[in-house]
Structures are given as C-alpha cells and as structure tokens.
Amino acid sequence: MKRPSGRKYLLVAGLVASPGCLFDADVCSGQQESVLQRGKWLADRGPADPRPFDNNLLGNGLLNAGYFDWKNRLWIEDGISFGGYVSANVQWGSDGGPSHGISETLLLFAWELVRGSNSAGRLVTGLAHDQTFGHPTTREFADNQRLVETPNDLDTDPELSFTTLGLFHWEHEWWTGPDRGWAVRLGQLYAPSYFGPARYLDDDRRFFMARPLAAAAGAQWVGYNDIGLGVNGIAWKAPIYVSVALVDGRANRQFLDFSSVFDGQLLYLGEIGFESDVDGPNEAAIRVTVSHLDVADGEEPELGPGQSLMISGDKRFDGKWALAGRWSRSYNRLSADYKELASLGLLWLGPLGRSTDLGGFGLFAGKPSDGTLGWESGFEIFYRLRLTNAVSVLPDLQYWRRDDPDGDGTRSWVWGIRSEFEF
C-alpha cells in the first residue's frame, strides 16, 4: 500500500470547519446563530467559503459570486458542505532522467445533522484519487535524483493510480465554543488531519516539499499505519487543548476495514497545544505530539513497534508574514525515510499587494533512517499565483544536497509547476 498525499486530508479540516471565518471575519457576519464557533484545531470554524476573491489576475472565471453564495447558504440553512479540487503537477531534476507528472482529485462532503444550543454533530467524508502520468513514479523520480525523500507532496502507487476513502466518520461537539468544549470523532480517521502542525504556513499546503518541510503530521514516520477505523477525543479550555486517539494500525487504506481492528495492533496518538490570537494577525501556536505504534513485523523488527515525538509551532506577524517550524524524531521504528527531521519556513502573505497570492521559502535537514547515509538538507522557494476564483498556478524551485560517510552524496536542483482547479 502507498501513503496518500500528506496534504489532501488536511483540506477536510478546512472544509468541515470554515476557512471563510479563518481568513475573513466579514464572511462570518450574520452567521453566529447558525454556525457554531469552535477552535481552529477542531476543524477551523465550520464551513463557509471566502470566495469570490476581489483581485484575481484574470477575474472570476467559471465560478462566480453566485456559486459561492449558494454553497454558503447550503451550509448555513441545511448544514451541507462540499468541495474539492483537481490538480496537475510536473517536476524536472538536474540529475537527468524523465520528468515526473501526477494528478490528484479530492472530493469532500460534510453534513451537520445536529445543531443544538451547545452541541453540534456532523458526518464527514473524503474520497481521493491519485493518477500518475506514466513513468517515472514519484519514488523513481527521487531515485533518479539520488534523494532519500520524494520532492513532491504526493506519492505514486506502483500501479500508477490509487483511490481511497480517506475519511468517513461522525464528529460531535458538546459545550462547543472558542473558550471551552469537548468533542469525539468516531469512524475512518486519517491521523495527519487532526494531529501535528496541520499546515505549513499556508493552511491548504499548496506547495511541493510537504514531506521534509512539514510532513503529514506528528505520526508521519509510522509509514502506512496512519489511516483506519478509530476514535479521537478532544477537550479544550482556551488557550490550551488536549487530543488523544486510537487508530487501527493494520487497516486497509482504501476502504472501511472492520476485520483488522480485532488484531489489537493500534496506533496511539496524543497531543497538547497552546494557541493565542486565533485567526488574528498575530496568531501563534505551539504543539507537542507523541505516538506509539503497536504493530509486529516479524522478520523486520525495525518496522515493528515504535514511538515518535514532535514539537511544532507557527506565528503570524501583523497579517503580513508568518513563520512555521517543526522538529520530529522516531524511536525504534524506522520505516520512514527520516529518523530525525527539522524544518523552518517563512511565508509572505499577500505579496506585491495581491491578497490572494502567496510566497514562501523553506529550509529543512533530515537524518535518514539508513545509517549509511549522511544528513539530507535543502530549501524550497515557491509562489502561488491566483488566476481566478477557482484556478491557481504554483511555480516551485528546490535544492537538495547530501554528503554520505563513504564520500558519495548528491546535489540536485528540482523545479516544477502545479496547477489546480478548486470548486
């Protein structure tokens, strides 16, 4: 089985939780009686779409104000929200070999059936499909550049396509609000959606180097074991929150797998976090995430039970700049590409007077799980240009280097472009 995109399921949190209120307080005006407010870590304020934007390069495009007004009314009046995107990515490397191309389609749906004076309950679903444009695969492209990690935020299935039911669960909150509350999620969970930084500067993580710069979540090093049936409990009293979860560690990642739950080999997750000025111009957050995976791998003990630790945080400055950083370490279990990883990113919000554009620069250094290899490090520069309400393009430049103990290492430039249609 393959790992799905570290980015795709993070959008579910944005959908089920209102990126509209996250980015533009005016979007939420008049909705307070219909939409319950909740902490960002618990689904980012429940779904309203901030579009249409007012300074797209090419205007509104196919999806105009009427479409987004209809979507927001559907959520406010009927508790139904949907969305997704179709993306296409192409990358080239300085060490030769063919280019790598891959697309991703994500469909998201939320239905809030319970709306009480101090509680809310909703069904959350997410379906994703990845399609590679022939060879090389993502891993083959990285091998051609002699890289430990893949320079794309998607992974390629050996069969060149992969479809998964990434989310299918019930989420219920009690005593809900920005100051205090508690909640439970039960069903098909994707741990990176709800643990760890859940973003690298840009909440939608529209960039390439997701693995080394942000990784999927606090449990990214557990390999293929971060999706499956499970339960997640959360409690918060501002500015502190606590979240714990149990997830099936041997689940089939493409559908609801009830049989493997009874194997009792589980992924245990825990996180405590501090958040201040939530959604404000000087928002700040710091999180500590731990995990334990209780999976037996027989003849490969390094892939068996193990633990992980991550510390992550982000800070905005007057709504114009942002910093994000993380450090992670895996213990005993070494199935991931890196044993230890550190990263730091700088984001330029609304560059060149364009409020919907985004610029970014990131640095990382990782210690490979393969002890024969030296530290791998690099940087990334990207710029997301918003063309219309639904279409954006993102050119990207990366540099990778590694010096191995035996004297053989790598130096590689990787450049690419990503296009996306959001609906």
Q: What mean pLDDT is predicted for residues 1-24?
A: 30
Contact 320, 350 (CB under 8 A): yes
254 — pLDDT class (breaks 50, 70, 90): confident
The CATH number of whichever domain residue 397 belongs to comes to 2.40.160.10
Three-state SS across the chain?
CCCCCCCCCHHHHHHHHCHHHHHCHHHHCCCCCCCCCCCHHHCCCCCCCCCCCCCCCCCCCCCCHHHHHHHHHHHHHHCEEEEEEEEEEEEEECCCCCCEEEEEEEEEEEEEEEECCCEEEEEEEEEEEEEECCCCCHHHHHHHCCCCCCCCCCCCCCCCEEEEEEEEEEEEEECCCCCEEEEEEEEEEEHHHCCCCCCECECCCCCCCHHHHCCCCCCHHHCCCCEEEEEEEEEEECCEEEEEEEEECCCCCCCCCCCHHHHCCEEEEEEEEEEECCCCCCCEEEEEEEEEECCCCCCCHHHCCEEEEEEEEEEEECCCEEEEEEEEEEECCCCCCEEEEEEEEEEEECHHHCCCCEEEEEEEEEEECCCCCCCEEEEEEEEEEECCCCEEEEEEEEEEEEECCCCCEEEEEEEEEEEEEEC
360 — pLDDT class (breaks 50, 70, 90): confident
Q: Is the pLDDT of residue 287 over 80?
A: yes
Q: Which residue has the higher pLDDT, 50 or 258?
A: 258
In-domain check, residue 3: no
Longest dimension (CA), the chain: 65
Beta bridge partners of 162: 130
Whole-number Å distance between alpha carbons of 325 and 283: 14
Q: Which residue has the higher pLDDT, 185 or 118?
A: 185
In-domain check, residue 2: no
Q: What mean pLDDT is predicted for residues 134-146?
A: 89
What pLDDT is attached to residue 2?
29
Q: What mean pLDDT is predicted for residues 109-129?
A: 89
Q: pLDDT tens digits for 298-344?
A: 666 666 788 888 888 888 899 899 888 888 888 877 666 788 888 88
Q: How many domains, in total, are found in the chain?
A: 1
Could you list the residue range(s) of the whole structural domain that residue 311 is in? Answer: 10-422
pTM for this model (two decimals) = 0.82
Whole-number Å distance between alpha carbons of 168 and 286: 28
In-domain check, residue 4: no
Whether the bond into 395 is cis, omega within 30 of 0? no
| Burial of residue 212 (number of CB atoms within 10 Å: 0-12, 13-18, 19+) | buried
Q: pLDDT tens digits for 192-246?
A: 778 876 544 333 334 455 555 654 433 444 556 778 999 999 998 889 999 999 9
In-domain check, residue 140: yes
Which residues have CB under 8 Å from 97's CB, separation 6+?
136, 141, 144, 145
Closest CA to 369 of 292, 312, 311, 300: 300
Q: Is the pLDDT of residue 5 over 50?
A: no
Q: Is the pLDDT of residue 412 over 90?
A: yes
In-domain check, residue 349: yes
What pLDDT is attached to residue 314?
84
In-domain check, residue 118: yes
Q: What mean pLDDT is predicted for residues 402-407?
A: 86
What pLDDT is attached to residue 271?
92
Closest CA to 192 of 87, 289, 127, 103: 289
CA separation (Å) from 223 to 146, 176, 401? 21, 34, 24
Q: Please provide residue 221's backbone torsions phi and psi, each rounded to the nearest 5 degrees.
A: -80, 0
Lowest mean pLDDT of 26-35, 124-133, 190-199, 328-337, name the range.
26-35
Contact 219, 266 (CB under 8 A): no
Q: Is the pLDDT of residue 406 over 60?
A: yes
CA separation (Å) from 228 to 30, 42, 123, 187, 265? 38, 19, 16, 8, 12
In-domain check, residue 108: yes
